[in-house]
Chain A
């Protein structure tokens, strides 16, 4: 039974697609769907303008090559694959880096106030893992500015009417309907496992409803809050991804968690000081004398150890984040050379990030946003004295597994319904919630790009899936949705009755502390075994929490109990994945297995959920996946597609090492050109 038309179901309802998450990935998906004529229901935990994308600071990568450096999307592809230690499939990276210049132009057309050159062109700056000026930026609040631009475009679609097949407006139906302050609880799946919609809860009234959608796209961001304090926003618990995983979606490369080298510690969160500080010339150092008691600015040049520049002369302070974070960790923990605090008479876990040699007007124009954060939260003047920083959990390279269709030239087949598709038919994912673009380590300023590109790929893929689907979700029958709603209502009722001895917020602090210490920069198998045992203990205790609040109106405690349960499930995926992978690659570093092991581990970690006999989840690792897309069987394996850039050892000691092949190719293509 096919739907009546592309717009209406058999029963006459307007056929919508559900997007969960209103950051860059979700908004871009929504815009692309609207442009394809597909109406959208957009769900978000917060008003979409307050999504976590606002926290991105430094910029967005695109090889526009306006600085005469010979940059190109080909080099961007190579440096991204190399920076990710060859764990990412390369066709999607190619799709992204090829599209990047067009994406930045599009954002400029939308009105993003990017910094300008004197000639009125977009300005670009340097970022980690590259020698090229490739990063477009709007001060140091680029993520906020990009989010606002997409938010504005989606708001316009909230005022645009849905048209029927004859071009007539359908009264009362707008292209985008927003559901802000709604929490996704679960997917609605039919008897064949096809995703037909979601169940969600209104966080003001606590009402639970089921919503049909011809397809669902999750763009719900990363799970950083599992680590307690991080650079992430408080909503980044990974709850929706965890729910989808527990319903059969594959979670890939969960163990790859990016720790950003430069953040400022505090009681509630670890605030990021963007890599753009180093992109604009900021230098990282510690005093050569570990008991140095003078203020940073008073320590003479000759008595400073610029340890990143010393160890990595090729890329210096702009080595990729995994390497910089490890070096900071070694300097502070293993060598005990963190900045000395005369008050406590000990070496703190802090190094200097120094901008004081750069003229103040330049800093104001390019970095004011982050320097303002430092001033407001630390109460010190970063123009006058070097900032004190330390690494913090920042980004998840891993996430929901998503597919792609490879084209003959090793790139992407644009518009293929396989792009951004999870292994649950009808469920798509875009943005940090999925694992596709960054491999074992993400390069700075590639996340804004991958979120927007993910949405650009997901929108057309979903439209194509929807055009070819057998029957609309709106004709799936009310029993399916009533059943799903009742199931979630029962679960919520059970949470409201929880009256045990444990405090859920306290329990979360315990989980976070443990994950932060043992599952981040350095990983040891004996410690990971203890973590896994402790996760089981925390899981058991999470069933004995008190809900603390039984109100039937906005009830943040009850909501948090659910998020905590979902965080524990993903914590297990992350820790178990780390335990299994006996090698070092990108952000995953084991001192007992220092080398990358391509023979055994050049492959994606594919985790599937299984209910254990004790009611706890178990992680089942698979080497192959199969799913059915509108009647076509798709079979994939965990092998990484490295057809475009052949894996080689990753070294940042020598300048140009990350872009060596592209440079070679270029030299071969034009042998007569002499390089200068």
Chain B
């Protein structure tokens, strides 16, 4: 129990999307409360591979808050998409198994475990994921809202734009432009808000069609992998219904 344990890592290395990929193996000393991030931090203090004893460049990865609220450290851990900060070593590899780390596959690779998720932030522009404010000057209290409304909105508002749902979605691939669950869920969020819903139409128009709600194949992988348990399938269903209604009857009200 108290003897020194080691943590074994197998990490996919790639200088760039075009460059050749390889796997490096590392071993670092186990520490209490250790997660994948702390294992990576130990590796860079002595970046030598465990099998070939070769000195290599430290692994590049993205991380920031380390408490699963920023979404930065999303990667594939043993093939499953998740945040590296909440991936505790004792849970991922209880028997000291080798842990495989790879970058997400649905986004352009930058280097090693780092990918470029800028499309997700652009998608938030497409769906106008904001409340259109008159200004930040004092205009008195905001609209009253029931606790129930807050309790529906809050879980949706916790989306970190981490990309897990896009990674897991079979409809997000090289031959489709499906916007994916997270942006659609933001449409639901802003269409719920008392002033946000004044621009519901524009958001719905942005997600109609094949690249929008119609692109969902109902595989339901998104809810499985969402680290914040956001009801993404519910969101897609609701927004889809709103969009259909708008498409069929929208002209009546315009």
Contacts and interface: CB of A to CB of B under 8 A. Distances in A.
Given A54-B69, A111-B193, A268-B66, A35 B146 contact: no
B88 interface: yes
A373 B86 CA distance: 9
Contacts of A159: 125
Interface in B155-176: 157-158, 160-161
Contacts of B181: none
Contacts of A49: 70-71, 121, 160-161
A27 to B, nearest CB: 11
A456 interface: yes
B32 to A, nearest CB: 7
Nearest to B44: A505
A496 B77 CA distance: 31
A152 B70 contact: no
A105 B141 contact: yes
Interface string B112-138: 001011100100110011111101111
Interface in A143-199: 144-145, 148, 152-153, 155-156, 158-159, 180
B33 interface: yes
A424 to B, nearest CB: 27
A47 interface: yes
Interface stretch (B56-64, B206-214, B215-223, B239-247): B56-64
A513 to B, nearest CB: 13
Interface stretch (A114-122, A622-630, A665-673): A114-122
B99 interface: no
Contacts of B66: 233-234, 268-269, 271
Contact of B15 (A115, A119, A553): A553
B136 A456 contact: yes
Interface in A573-593: none
A144 B157 CA distance: 9
Contacts of B144: 119-121
Nearest to A376: B86
Interface residues of A, number: 75
A108 B79 CA distance: 40
A105 B45 contact: no
A644 interface: no
A84 B121 CA distance: 39
Interface in B67-91: 67-72, 85-86, 88, 90-91
A550 B35 CA distance: 28
B20 interface: no
A31 B38 contact: no
A556 B131 CA distance: 37
Given A109-B142, A118-B147, A266 B38 contact: yes
A551 interface: yes
Q: Describe B's contact surface by its main secondary structure.
A: loop
Contacts, number: 203
B177 interface: no
A114 B150 contact: yes
A482 interface: no
Given A267-B34, A557-B58, A111 B131 contact: yes
A204 B60 CA distance: 11
B16 interface: yes
B9 to A, nearest CB: 14
Interface in B3-18: 15-16
Given A155-B129, A554-B60, A267 B35 contact: yes
A51 B64 CA distance: 8
B95 interface: no
B69 A548 contact: no
A52 B65 contact: yes
A119 B147 CA distance: 8
A260 to B, nearest CB: 14
A32 B111 CA distance: 36
Contacts of B114: 554
B46 interface: yes
B69 A141 contact: yes
A46 interface: yes
Interface string A40-81: 000000110111101100000000000000000000000000
Contacts of A379: 88, 90-91
A148 B157 contact: yes
A54 B33 contact: no
A35 B134 CA distance: 10
A254 B225 CA distance: 43
A369 B68 CA distance: 10
Given A120-B146, A141-B158, A548-B47, A266 B35 contact: yes
B133 A110 contact: yes
A619 to B, nearest CB: 29
Given A54-B70, A115-B150, A31 B63 contact: no
Contacts of B248: none
B161 A108 contact: no
Contacts of B116: 204
B130 A152 contact: yes
B231 interface: no
B38 A267 contact: yes
Contacts of B101: none
A597 interface: no
Contacts of A120: 144-147
B157 to A, nearest CB: 5
A506 interface: yes
B111 A553 contact: yes
B91 to A, nearest CB: 8
Nearest to B55: A548
A656 interface: no
A208 interface: no
A116 B150 contact: yes
A235 to B, nearest CB: 6
A551 B15 CA distance: 8
A660 interface: no
Given A114-B150, A234-B63, A266-B38, A155 B190 contact: no
Contacts of B110: 204, 553-554
Contact of A155 (B38, B88, B125, B157): B125
Contact of B67 (A55, A112, A378, A509): A55
B119 to A, nearest CB: 12
Contact of A509 (B45, B57, B139): B45
Interface string A258-283: 00000001111101100000000000
Contacts of B125: 155, 158-159
A155 B186 CA distance: 14
Interface in A226-276: 233-235, 265-269, 271-272
B31 interface: yes
Contacts of B46: 503, 506
Interface in A109-147: 109-122, 138-139, 141, 144-145
30 contacts: A47-B72, A50-B71, A55-B65, A105-B138, A105-B140, A106-B136, A106-B138, A108-B142, A111-B193, A111-B195, A117-B147, A119-B144, A138-B157, A139-B154, A153-B133, A156-B128, A180-B118, A234-B64, A234-B66, A265-B33, A268-B37, A377-B33, A377-B86, A379-B88, A505-B41, A506-B45, A551-B57, A553-B110, A554-B60, A556-B60
Given A102-B138, A268-B37, 5 more contacts: A110-B130, A116-B147, A139-B154, A155-B129, A378-B33
A-B pairs with lowest CB-CB distance, top 5: A108-B142, A120-B144, A152-B130, A267-B38, A549-B57
Interface of B: 15-16, 31-35, 37-38, 41, 44-47, 57-58, 60, 62-72, 85-86, 88, 90-91, 110-111, 114, 116-118, 121, 124-125, 128-133, 135-147, 149-151, 153-154, 157-158, 160-161, 189-190, 193, 195-196
